[in-house]
Amino acid sequence: MGRKFAVAINPKWCKKCGICAAFCPRQVFTHKAGHVPEITAEEKCIGCNQCEQRCPDFAVTVRGKNDESDS
């Protein structure tokens, strides 16, 4: 079994652009125009961090579920 990742979106920072959903190679997000993207398939996340790196508002975070920051 592969490593698991926790994905989070800060809705206060998100401007609802959908870039995270557009760049996700595993379709972890579902995005409807004008809405904060939803994390609908977190179990598919491979931890590539494309969503986190491309988010212009720093609203997306991806962490390994075993990271110390998750304690």
- The two beta strands, 29-30 and 5-9, are unpaired
CATH architecture of 5-64: 2-Layer Sandwich (3.30)
The model's pTM is 0.83
Q: How far apart are CA 59 and CA 71, in angstroms?
A: 21
Report whether 2 contacts 48 (CB < 8 A).
Answer: no
pLDDT (tens digit per residue) in 8-60: 999 999 999 999 999 999 999 999 999 999 999 999 999 999 999 999 999 99
d(CA 39, CA 42): 6
| CB-based contact 45:7 (threshold 8 Å) | yes
Tokens describing residue 48: 């590539």
In the structure encoding, which two tokens stand for residue 60, read together? 């997306």
